[in-house]
Amino acid sequence: MKVEGSIAFLGVCGIPTSRGSKHKYERGRLPVKRILGIVASQRVLGNSEILTKAAMEATGADSQKEMIRLTDLDLKSCKACYKCLPPDVPCHINDDLNFLLDKIRAADAVVFAAPCYFLGPQGSIRILQDRFLSVSNKAREFSGKPCISIMSYGARGMEGYAEAALNLTPRFLNLNLIDSASFFGASPAEVLEDPKNLERVRQMGRGLVDPNYKRDFKANECPVCWSDIFRYDGKELICPFCSTKGEIKVEGQEVKMVFYPRANHRFSEEGRHEHFDVYLNNKKREFLAKRHHYQELQKPYRSLDWWVSPQTDS
Ligand SMILES: Cc1cc2nc3c(=O)[nH]c(=O)nc-3n(C[C@H](O)[C@H](O)[C@H](O)COP(=O)(O)O)c2cc1C
């Protein structure tokens, strides 16, 4: 299937993107009563917090609102133990992940906000995403809750990959990402200097409670995950986030990107099952069968004990 720089085709073709998919909230969204705002910035009343509050406020006075400052949570790094792969096994790390997941489960709609730090989303977002191994095969429980993501950045042209990477949070959680946007503002509250920012984020907030909300069309983005960052191998365009492929076509004076989205893309039910259930479980079985062989490969490196730490140096 061919899509020319447009997401509009997807709905028509029935490709299960986060907007056109078949999960329960999307055909007729459930009423949104509880809104959860998750802010990945330490700055009190910084741009992320303000934009999140403005979006949540725009959902109306009737909804119950709760906010979590992600940077205040105790979220430890994934240990790569793979114990959490079976659908009924939670992550073994004892920290605040379950508090956060329970809050997302209890919410009807979610706002994620993070500043751009060194071209990507603030670090607590990455730590959280790394822990999604324990939820990716259980993501049906989050399936389809409307979500928006808000990225703020302070140097024009240095937005990097932050918005596309922030969007992976709702996508891997299987939430229904209905819109995302980046907002310029370096100092706390600077985003409010441009009234268009407030207007835009309020529009996104209203979208959370409007089942007919349609995100504005954006040219030159991946039709599956909305990333506007691509690899080019000399022949094909490849979306680094969802692996959707495309081509650059020159027609007369016009240069355009043409995409060929697959129905079983990374964030579809089938794509998710393929990676988190099939591939990772196969890898785990393979590891268990070959672990003595891997231990042999490790042997020459075991005795090279060059580690230092603040404790060894004191
Ligand atoms: C450590 C650090 C790194 C940053 N890196 C970038 C960057 O790569 N690109 C950019 O545009 N802004 C960068 N900024 C600016 C922030 O993205 C900007 O100030 C943002 O609005 C902060 O949001 P907040 O007020 O919600 O914390 C950086 C700020 C900090 C503190």
Q: Are residues 33 and 137 in the same domain?
A: yes
Q: Between residues 277 and 27, which one has the greater pLDDT? A: 277
Q: Kindly state the helix (H) or strand (E) to which residue 13 belongs, with its residue range.
A: helix 8-13
pLDDT, one tens digit per residue, over 139-173 is 778 888 999 999 999 999 999 999 999 999 999 99
**For residue 189, which atom of ligand 1 is closest to its CA?**
25
Place of tokens 């075991």: 302
Give the strand pairing for 146-153 and 231-232.
unpaired
Measure CA 110 to chain center.
12
Q: Kindly state the helix (H) or strand (E) to which residue 104 belongs, with its residue range.
A: helix 97-106
User: 309 lies in a domain?
Assistant: no
As for how many domains the chain has, the answer is 2
State residue 302's pLDDT score.
96
155 lines ligand 1 (CB under 6 A): yes
Q: Summarize the confidence of residues 196-202 as an average pLDDT.
A: 98
User: 305 lies in a domain?
Assistant: no
How many H helices and E strands in the chain?
12, 11
Give the strand pairing for 109-117 and 146-153.
parallel
State residue 28's pLDDT score.
62
User: 96 lies in a domain?
Assistant: yes
State residue 137's pLDDT score.
73
Q: Are residues 2 and 122 in the same domain?
A: no
Q: Are residues 37 and 8 in the same domain?
A: no
In whole angstroms, what is the distance from residue 110 CA to residue 251 CA?
42
Would you say 94 and 132 are in contact if contact means Cβ atoms under 8 Å apart? no
Query: What tokens were used for 9?
Result: 């085709």
Q: Are residues 142 and 130 in the same domain?
A: yes
pLDDT, one tens digit per residue, over 288-309 is 999 999 999 999 999 999 999 9
- Closest Cα partner for 100 from 58, 72, 80? 72
CATH at 38: 3.40.50.360
Q: Are residues 32 and 5 in the same domain?
A: no
User: 292 lies in a domain?
Assistant: no
- Closest Cα partner for 11 from 24, 2, 21, 1? 21
**For residue 39, which atom of ligand 1 is closest to its CA?**
26
Q: Summarize the confidence of residues 172-186 as an average pLDDT.
A: 97
Reply yes or no on whether the pLDDT at 284 is more than 80.
yes
pLDDT, one tens digit per residue, over 218-230 is 889 999 999 999 9
Q: Are residues 26 and 15 in the same domain?
A: no
Choose the final residue of a domain: 180, 214, 248: 214
Average pLDDT over the chain, rounded to whole? 90
User: 311 lies in a domain?
Assistant: no
State residue 257's pLDDT score.
94
153 lines ligand 1 (CB under 6 A): yes
Q: Are residues 185 and 224 in the same domain?
A: no
Order of strands, sheet of 245-251, starting from the edge strand that comes earlier in the sequence: 3-4, 254-260, 245-251, 237-238, 231-232
User: 303 lies in a domain?
Assistant: no
Choose the final residue of a domain: 214, 243, 266: 214
Could you tell me the pLDDT band of residue 254, with boundaries at 50, 70 and 90?
very high
Give the three-class secondary structure for 180: strand
State residue 1's pLDDT score.
54
Q: Are residues 40 and 183 in the same domain?
A: yes
Reply yes or no on whether the pLDDT at 23 is more than 60.
no
Residue percentage of the chain with pLDDT more than 90:
82
45 lines ligand 1 (CB under 6 A): no
Choose the final residue of a domain: 183, 214, 245: 214
pLDDT, one tens digit per residue, over 81-112 is 999 988 889 999 999 999 999 999 999 999 99
- Pocket probe for ligand 1: among 41, 72, 117, 201, the residue whose CB has the most ligand atoms within 8 Å is 117
Q: Are residues 60 and 180 in the same domain?
A: yes
Judged by average pLDDT, the poorest of 77-81, 157-161, 193-197, 214-218 is 214-218
Give the strand pairing for 64-69 and 34-39.
parallel
Residue percentage of the chain with pLDDT more than 70:
91
Q: Are residues 229 and 169 in the same domain?
A: no
- Helix pair 195-208, 47-57: axis angle to 10 deg: 50
119 lines ligand 1 (CB under 6 A): yes
Reply yes or no on whether the pLDDT at 24 is more than 50.
no
Could you tell me the pLDDT band of residue 21, with boundaries at 50, 70 and 90?
very low
User: 34 lies in a domain?
Assistant: yes
**How close is the Cα of 50 to the center of ligand 1, in Å?**
15
User: 113 lies in a domain?
Assistant: yes
Q: Are residues 63 and 207 in the same domain?
A: yes
261 lines ligand 1 (CB under 6 A): no
Residue range of the domain that includes 225: 1-19+219-286
**How close is the Cα of 226 to the center of ligand 1, in Å?**
22
166 lines ligand 1 (CB under 6 A): no
39-58 exposure pattern, b = at least 16 Cβ within 10 A, e = fewer: bbbebeebbbbbbbbbbbeb
